[in-house]
Structure 1
Amino acid sequence: MFTLKNLLCFLVSTCILYQLQSQSKNSEINILFVGNSLTYTNNLPLLVKKQAKKHGVNINTKMVVKPNYALPDHWDEGKVQKLITTKAYKFVIVQQGPSSSVEGKKMLIEYGQKYDAICKENGVKLVYFMVWPSLNYYHTFEGVIKNHLTAAEINKAILCPVGEIWKKHFDTTNTYDYYGSDGFHPSKKGSEIAAKVIVESLFCK
């Protein structure tokens, strides 16, 4: 029998749950993006912020990005490490070029380990942003996907499988509209899909 006492307990529990959810949604989450032009084209962090808002998640973003940079380049400069040690960020999303080669895989794994060690010391979660090859090197796509999957698994990091989602779209539709005019950098639509995958990977699992 559903008594008045049961009803009161239910209402109190519901109110507490709603309060906790509201606090989570209203609190801001800081995300650091580390990468190159594949991240700053179309201002991907801003698109991620807008996409997260649709899910009731408020985020702030910061970019440390330079053209043609890979993870070792950022490591050598040291700026990223200093930002991580401020303990201001919940996630650090790292990105470099397609990384289908043996050398690219090595950088993803070894420098991922370096960043992950600092992240763990400062309560931050490492995230890989899986990208894509240029249209001219489309045949390397499986290597891009495999190497990112391997690096994320080895370093126990979150993986945002953007490249994998792109490839499924291309293979299904035979339409390459996620690429921009140069056949490598993302179109606005491609960046919007990337933002959607990133937000779902971080907040919707």
Structure 2
Amino acid sequence: MKKSWFFLLVVFTFQVIYPQDFPINLPPKISKGLKVLFIGNSLTYSNNLPKLVKKEIRSKGINLKTEMIAYPNYAIEDHWNDGKVQKLIAKNHYDFVIIQQGPSSQEEGRNMLLSYGKKLKQLCESKNSQLVYFMVWPSRTYYHTFDDVITNHREAALKNGALLSSVGEEWKGYFDGTGDYSYYAKDGFHPSIKGSKVAAKIISQTLLKVKK
């Protein structure tokens, strides 16, 4: 009897010291791969953010196909008025559509997040796609508007029933906690490669619903 208890104790101790690294159980749809459309401006195409997201998700053993439509200084209103995004969403059956525009701390930007986000949400729903807001950040010059950037993105995602990838909020937490602003490129607005990699990780977590 004592030998049996000793054997169980040894096995238990071994498991505690050397735990197994169990894989994450993902929904079948995600396990088979994802298709994502990125809609935005230079904050999205800088450092090829979709490629970084693809690399991050593939590191989890999941295939990801991405498309991007992004132009300098574009807001989601501009993309909607161009009409290209509607055609892409209608014919390509994306799992996720990620939208991004400038910081949107002011009322005009807030209204665009709400109104054009609603239009895109309705279109995505009709095609079984999930809409994701990519929360960005203000320039360092307008750092004092950061809280409004966060608030307006949260509101838009909540009111339109969309997912929110809180990249900007994560950036601010890092800046305020460390005083290190290296997520910014030299121009004080666009992301450095380090900042884009952080953004890619956060967006990937949003898509896979994997908590940090």
Counterpart in 2 of 1:138?
143
CA distance in 1, matches of 2:44, 2:162: 19
> Rg: which structure is higher?
2
Counterpart in 1 of 2:13?
none
Counterpart in 2 of 1:148?
153
Task: For residue 57 of structure 1, report the CA deviation from its aligned partner.
Answer: 1.9
CA distance in 1, matches of 2:141, 2:173: 18
Q: Secondary structure at the match of 2:164?
A: strand
Distance 1:76 1:169, change over 3 A: same
Counterpart in 1 of 2:204?
199
Structure 1 stretches lacking a partner, 5+ long: 1-17
Task: For residue 25 of structure 1, report the CA deviation from its aligned partner.
Answer: 5.8
CA distance in 2, matches of 1:133, 1:37: 13
Counterpart in 2 of 1:14?
none
Task: For residue 58 of structure 1, report the CA deviation from its aligned partner.
Answer: 1.2
Distance 1:65 1:129, change over 3 A: same
Identity of aligned residues (%): 54
CA distance in 2, matches of 1:130, 1:22: 25
Q: Answer yes or no: is the 8 Å Cα contact 1:133–1:140 preserved in 2.
A: yes
Select which of 183, 186, 192 maps to 2:191: 186
Q: Deviations over 1:46-73 (max 9, x none)?
A: 0000001122221100000000000110
Counterpart in 2 of 1:97?
102
Task: For residue 201 of structure 1, report the CA deviation from its aligned partner.
Answer: 1.1
Task: For residue 27 of structure 1, report the CA deviation from its aligned partner.
Answer: 1.9
CA distance in 1, matches of 2:108, 2:30: 40
Q: Deviations over 1:129-167 (max 9, x none)?
A: 000000000000000000000000000100000000000
Task: For residue 21 of structure 1, report the CA deviation from its aligned partner.
Answer: 5.7
Question: Does structure 1 residue 67 correspond to structure 2 residue 110?
Answer: no
Q: Deviations over 1:100-151 (max 9, x none)?
A: 0011100000000000111011111100000000000000000000000000
Task: For residue 28 of structure 1, report the CA deviation from its aligned partner.
Answer: 2.3
Q: Which moved more, 1:21-30 or 1:153-162?
A: 21-30
Q: Deviations over 1:8-39 (max 9, x none)?
A: xxxxxxxxxx9x96965652211000000000
CA distance in 2, matches of 1:38, 1:192: 12
Task: For residue 202 of structure 1, report the CA deviation from its aligned partner.
Answer: 1.3
Matches within 5 A, 1:168-187: 168-187=173-192
Distance 1:169 1:67, change over 3 A: same
Q: Secondary structure at the match of 2:203?
A: helix
Aligned residues: 187
Q: Answer yes or no: is the 8 Å Cα contact 2:133–2:164 preserved in 1.
A: yes
Task: For residue 178 of structure 1, report the CA deviation from its aligned partner.
Answer: 0.1
Q: Answer yes or no: is the 8 Å Cα contact 1:49–1:59 preserved in 2.
A: yes
CA distance in 2, matches of 1:24, 1:115: 22
Quote the RMSD (CA, aligned, Å). Answer: 1.6
CA distance in 2, matches of 1:186, 1:75: 25
Q: Secondary structure at the match of 1:148?
A: helix
Q: Report the TM-score, using the length of structure 2 for normalisation.
A: 0.85
